[in-house]
Structure 1
Amino acid sequence: MHVLVNAATSADGKLSSRRREQIAISGPADFDRVDSLRADSDAVMVGIGTVLADDPHLTVNESTSVAREERGDPSHPARVVADSRARTPSDARIVDDAATTYLLVSEAAPTDRIKALRETGAEVIVAGEERVALPEALSELESREIERLMVEGGGELIFSLFEAGLVDKLSVFVGPLVIGGREAPTLADGEGFVDGFPDLSLESVERIDAGVLLRWRVRP
């Protein structure tokens, strides 16, 4: 499986403010780029924090949807949520019938929540005891013919993927604003690295909208 992490941060590396509200960091040109990345992916993944904060739909634009259908793909890529305790609301947009949704949960998830989410039509994958075991969960996704996975956040999930050595490429749009705040989410939160830092190789730098797009390859 090829895993691409894509995110938009402020100039100081924040994904949002300390209130964890959605902030417009990029502009129209970057929105089109993200739509194109989604269109080229088999699935788009976020963490439960992003679902609870933003209620994302993770679908593509109508014209992009038509193009996917014309090449024989589903209208929209599948959607994946890393949700250890099965906290995804049953009425969240990400579990509607627009596309297939996979919910990655742990064995610690309450059975009633798993049952409720399965009733929405979502496919629940159990991997790990207390937290989602990402290597195992992504292997399960790969067995369901998901070869190209795009990850859109948030910081806890992104850190966990890097920690597990599962990221192949990283693209970051850096916008022209400073958010600040020690409690504001960053590109990679979690416990953080003290050694064994992921080694990135810069592939390209591109001015887009009022910011800059950086693309890295993760060295093995």
Structure 2
Amino acid sequence: MHIVVNAAMSADGKLSSRRREQIAISGEADFARVDRLRADSDAVVVGVGTVLADDPRLTVKDETLCERRLERGESKQPARVVVDSNARTPEDAAILDDAATTYVCLSDGAPVDRRMDLAAHAELLTAGDERVDLLRAFAALQQQGLERIMVEGGGELIFSLFEAGLVDELSVYVGAKIIGGRDAPTLADGDGFVADFPLLSLESVERLDDGVLLVWSVDDR
């Protein structure tokens, strides 16, 4: 399994404002790049916080890219995955539509009634007691044949993936905008590291739109 974390952040490292509202950070060239990255993935993953804040569909927009997936013998759209320990994903969330298969990763502590509601719209994977055990959850995704994984946020999930040693590549678009705010989400939130910091190797730098695309590989863990 190869896991790529992809994100767009402001020049001061914020994913959105302190109100958790979606803010346009990149432009058309980066949107097209993200669409290609999705099309090359078996699954696109987000945390439930991103679902609640942005209600994304996480589908490939370019029909030509969809056709190429079909020509390769793949589904028209990559699978979608929500990491949602307590089953907070709304039943009417865009990510639960019928455009693609959706998996919701839950913990054992998720309420039974919410499980039943979500089971009508998604494939449920249970891993972990009170929080999703990411190692077990991603192993279960791999058993479903999902090898090329794209993670699109948010900061809590990204930190947890780095903490679990699951990230292989980090791709970040840095936009020409300052958002600020001590409570605004950053690329990697969570508890933060105080030792054994994950180390990266810079693979490429590309000017894109009014910002820059940075691609790192994660050093062997």
Partner of 1:111: 112
**SS of the residue aligned with 1:69?**
helix
Matched residue type, 1:134: L
1:90 is displaced (CA, Å) by: 0.5
Q: Superposed, which structure 2 residues align to 1:144-163 within 5 Å?
A: 144-163=144-163
d(CA) in 1 for partners of 2:69 and 2:28? Answer: 21
Within-5 A mapping of 1:57-68: 57-61=57-61, 62-68=63-69
Residue matched to 1:86: 87
Q: CA deviation at 1:65?
A: 1.3
- Match status 1:136 vs 2:141: no
* 1-structure distance, mates of 2:171, 2:35: 14
| CA distance in structure 2 between the aligned counterparts of 1:163 and 1:204, rounded to whole angstroms | 24
Give 1:78 deviation, angstroms: 0.1
Equivalences for residues 88-103 of structure 1 within 5 A: 88-103=89-104
Aligned to 2:56: 56
Q: Name the % identity.
A: 68
Q: Structure 2 CA distance, aligned partners of 1:112 and 1:132?
A: 18
Higher mean C-alpha displacement, 66-75 vs 139-148? 66-75
Superposed CA RMSD in Å reads: 0.5
Partner secondary structure for residue 159 of structure 1? helix
For residues 182 and 105 of structure 1, what CA distance do their matches in structure 2 show?
A: 30
- Any idea what the Cα deviations from partners look like across 1:102-127, whole Å, max 9, x if unmatched? 0001011000001100012x000000
C-alpha distance in structure 2 between counterparts of 1:206 and 1:125, whole Å? 38
Equivalent position SS for 2:205: strand
CA separation in 2, counterparts of 1:147 and 1:185?
Answer: 28
User: 51-60 vs 62-71, which deviates more?
Assistant: 62-71
Provide the C-alpha distance between the structure 1 equivalents of 2:206 and 2:41, rounded to a whole number of angstroms. Answer: 22
Residue 66 of structure 1 deviates from its aligned partner by 1.7
CA distance in 2, matches of 1:16, 1:160: 19
1:70 positional shift:
1.8
| Matches for 1:1-220 after TM superposition, within 5 Å | 1-61=1-61, 62-120=63-121, 122-220=122-220
User: After superposition, what is the alpha-carbon deviation per residue over 1:4-61, rounded to whole angstroms, capped at 9, x for unaligned?
Assistant: 0000000000000001011000000000000000000000000000000000000001
Q: TM-score, normalised by structure 2?
A: 0.98
1:201 CA displacement: 0.3
CA distance in 2, matches of 1:55, 1:211: 25
Q: Deviations over 1:158-183 (max 9, x none)?
A: 00000000000000000000000000
Give, in angstroms, the shift of residue 72 of structure 1: 1.2
Q: How far did 1:86 drift? A: 0.4
- Runs of at least 4 residues off by over 6 Å: none
- Residue 79 of structure 1 aligns with an amino acid whose one-letter code is R
Give the C-alpha shift of residue 209 in structure 1.
0.3
Q: Could you tell me which amino acid in structure 2 is paired with residue 204 of structure 1?
A: S
Structure 2 residues without counterparts, runs of 5 or longer: none
Q: Take 2:75 and 2:166, find their aligned partners in 1: how far apart are those partners? A: 25
Q: Distance in 2 between matches of 1:27 and 1:163?
A: 30
Shift of 1:135: 0.2
